[in-house]
Every structure is written in C-alpha cells, then in structure tokens.
Amino acid sequence: MTDPVLIGVLGFVGMFVLIGLHVPIGAAMAIAGVVAFGAISGFKPALSLFGTEASSALGNLDLVAIPLFLLMGSFASTAGLSADIYHLAHALIGHRRGGLASSTILGCAGFGAVCGSSVATAAAMTNVALPEMRKRGYRAALATGSIASGGTLGILIPPSIIMVIYALVSEQFVITLYVAAAIPSMLAVMLLLSAVAAVVRIDPAAGPAGPKSTWAERLAALRRGWGVVSLALIIFVGIYAGIFTVNEAAAIGAALAFLFAAGRRRLTLRAFVQTLAETASTTGMIYMILIGSNILTYFVTSSGMPEAMVAGIKALDAPPLMVLAVLLVAYIILGAVFEEVSAMLITMPFVLPLVVGYGYHPVWWGIIMVVVIEIGMICPPIGLNVFVVHNMTRDVPMKTIYAGIMPFLYAEFVLLAILVLFPGLTMWLPTAMGMK
C-alpha cells in the first residue's frame, strides 16, 4: 500500500476514530498526521514534524495577536467597557419598540470591536442588557435570543481572533481578512436589527417601548462611553490606515484595556490574576490545536490528497455554487457534532484547495467560514452562545432561548446566502485598497 492518496484517506479516517475515542483534537490531528506521513515518507522525518511544527507555532510572532486580543477582551470586560457601549446605544434608541434588543445588538457590535470573542461578548451583554430588558417586560425569548446572536458579532467584526487563526493556517494576511470583513459586518448588524424589528412587528409585546432618554442622559452616556469608543477607533483607524500592524494593534489594545481597567479601579489583584490565568488557559488550548493542525496540514499537502479530491470533484462537472452549498451544509451538519473552529481547522487542508480551485479567493472563504462559525455558535444542538446565556440565566429554559434565536438564525442564513451569491461584496474593499 504505497498510494499516498489512499494513505491520506486512511490517515483522515484514523484521525476521526481517535477523536471519537476521546483523544483531544490537537493530539488526534498530530498523531494521525505523523503516522500517515511516516507511512508515506518514513518515520524519522515524520517524527521531526513534532519539533518543526511546534517550534514554528511557538516562535511565530504573527500568532501572538491571539493572546493579545484575548487579553484585550478580558481587560475590556473587567473595565466595564461592555456596559458603557450598551448604555450608549440604550440612550440613543432604547426607547423604541424592541429598542433594548436593538441596543443589545449594537452594544455587541461595539464591544466586538474591542473584543474578538463571541462568547465573551455574549457573556458580557447578558450581565448588562438582560436585567434592563427584563425590567422593561421583554419576552425572555427576544431578550436572550438577541444577546446570544448579537454575541456572534464578536468574531465577525475585526479584530477577530478566529480570523487570525484562519489567516495563519491559510497563509493569508490578517489585515486583508479584517478589511474584507468590514462590509459583511455591517450587513450582519443590519440583518440582526431587522430580525428584532420583525419580531416586535409580529408581536409588539415582545419588546415594549419605554421612556425616551433626555439629551442630558444621552450626553452622560456618551461621556461614559468615550473609553470604548476611543479604544475601538484607535484600533480601527490604526489598522485600516496602516499606522500600525495587526500585532501592534493587538498589543496597544491590550495595553489600553489594561490601563482602562486599572484606571477605573476595577482591576483588583484577584480580577487581574483571574484575567491572566483565563487568557493563558485559552492561549495554550489554541496553540495545542494549532500545532496539531500544522502537522495535519503538512501531511495532507504532501499526500497529494487535495489535488486528487479537487480533480475528482471537478470531474463531476457540478456547478461551483452546488459544490459550495454542499460544503456549507456539511459544515453546519458537522457543527452538530464538532465544535466549528476545530471543524474548520481539520477540513481546511483539503477544502481550501477545492474552493480556490473553483476560482474563489481564500480571503472570501475565510469570511464565509467565520459566518458559518457564527451560525454554529447559535444553531442547535450545540450553540455555545446559547449555553453561555443559559448558564447565566438558569430560569430561562433552553427551548425558550432557542425559540428566541430562530429569527436571528434566519438572518444569519440570509447573510450567508448574500455573501455566497455575491462574493464581490466581501472582496470589494480589499480590492479597492489594493490588497487582493
């Protein structure tokens, strides 16, 4: 048995078997990758992959944006920046019917701009927005649904940690992905706001109107929100205007968020230690997977499996859109068993060449993957954001949250369809800025 493609397929089957046997995903990818690569090229070079791929991950300065953005998000939460941005949106549009749910979406979008994490955004907004919505008499479904779905904006709106991971694995520039995400992010916010509008139009009692904020209250909210607005502006303007690199933006964001938390006297020793420990734990977890993913990618590429698969699928003469539709449905189904980021990393070595083979840009596919991950964050049966909101609001049953999610899930599917059917929407800005 010396056919590299066959060995590649067996390696993949072996990896899924290991994952099924409770082997951590990073280890499963690495072990399957090394064993299969060993069968193709010999075990001495295969074993050395553990060293070369681990050292390239540990020593990769571009990857340090991941822990830095994580740190920024944690300090921003501790500093209370999520509450500030929510209260700002609340003061401006909170009085309208469904206004608090819309404020939640805008708050999530704003906080997403200083925190690249979906779950952290949902958790922060549950603390801030849910009590307000309950006080106003919002239906639990709309209140929790808007928070869980709004939280997903954290990974689509730059700076997104998942985009850093995708950029590394697909060998694209993070900055191009961030620029490409601009229009899809705005579209996502508009669609989620439309979902709120649709819900309160059908059932006005779901999100009753409230008293209008006075101009004095609005100004006070604006004054309180200067921190989060300026932090987001510094990062956005800095990255988009080319004043600093993504890594520098992450470093500056982390440092400023730390200074905000310390300056507002919210950073107790306990909170500080907790923030560092949580960031360390998440960072280590991501690196464990990335090392495994690097090894798997190396083996898959050397096996020639992607080329064989692309040739095989192209021979079917299926329209590209149909192939994409099958892939996207497969990802959403895979998301029912797998956690989506892992699914993306595991499948990337052969899916990306296929997508590129059909003439699509890897940056566009990266944005599509992030939207698919967003859907996975709220889609039953896993829906991590739903779990987060449920954990923080034990009295609201899961089925109520899932019912509340549905309008937003439809909005996400509409977003996905638009981005798939019109790739130009995503790629227009990078092309206009000469990044493509």
Footprint of other proteins on 289-328 (CB under 8 A):
289, 291-292
Whole-angstrom distance, CA of residue 233 vs CA of residue 395: 38
Of 89, 191, 235, 288, the one binding other proteins by CB under 8 A:
288
Whole-angstrom distance, CA of residue 40 vs CA of residue 49: 13
Length of the chain: 436
Rounded least distance, CB 281 to other proteins, Å: 5
Q: How many Cβ atoms are within 10 Å of 141's Cβ, its own excluded?
A: 22
Site for other proteins contains 217 (CB under 8 A): no
Place of tokens 């500030």: 84
Q: How many Cβ atoms are within 10 Å of 55's Cβ, its own excluded?
A: 11
Contacts of 359 (CB under 8 A, 6+ apart): 320
Rounded least distance, CB 156 to other proteins, Å: 12
Whole-angstrom distance, CA of residue 324 vs CA of residue 284: 33
Rounded least distance, CB 58 to other proteins, Å: 5
Nearer to other proteins (CB atom), residue 272 or residue 428: 272
The token pair at 332 is: 């959403």
Site for other proteins contains 156 (CB under 8 A): no
Of 141, 340, 393, 400, the one binding other proteins by CB under 8 A:
340
CA 364, 367, 369, 371 dihedral sign is negative
Chain centre to alpha carbon of residue 220: 32
Site for other proteins contains 281 (CB under 8 A): yes
Site track for other proteins across 244-263, x = CB under 8 A: x--xx-xxx-xxx-x-----
The span of 36-44, 55-63, 311-319, 394-402 binding other proteins (CB under 8 A) equals 55-63
Site for other proteins contains 408 (CB under 8 A): no
DSSP string, 20-88: HTT--HHHHHHHHHHHHHHHHH-HHHHHHHHHHHHHHHHT-GGGGHHHHHHHHHHHHHHTTHHHHHHHH
The token pair at 136 is: 């106003």
Contacts of other proteins in 23-52 (CB under 8 A): 23-28, 30-31, 34, 47-52
Please state, in angstroms and as integers, the Cα–Cα distance from residue 245 to each residue in 117, 174, 234, following that order: 20, 10, 12
Nearer to other proteins (CB atom), residue 142 or residue 348: 348
CA dihedral 210, 213, 218, 221 (to 10 degrees): -50
Site for other proteins contains 376 (CB under 8 A): yes
Site for other proteins contains 332 (CB under 8 A): no
Contacts of other proteins in 61-90 (CB under 8 A): 61, 63-64, 67-68, 70-71
Site for other proteins contains 331 (CB under 8 A): no
Nearer to other proteins (CB atom), residue 74 or residue 176: 74
Nearer to other proteins (CB atom), residue 69 or residue 408: 69
Of 377, 378, 415, 419, the one binding other proteins by CB under 8 A:
377
Place of tokens 């900055």: 175
Q: How many chain residues are in contact with other proteins, going by CB under 8 A?
A: 76
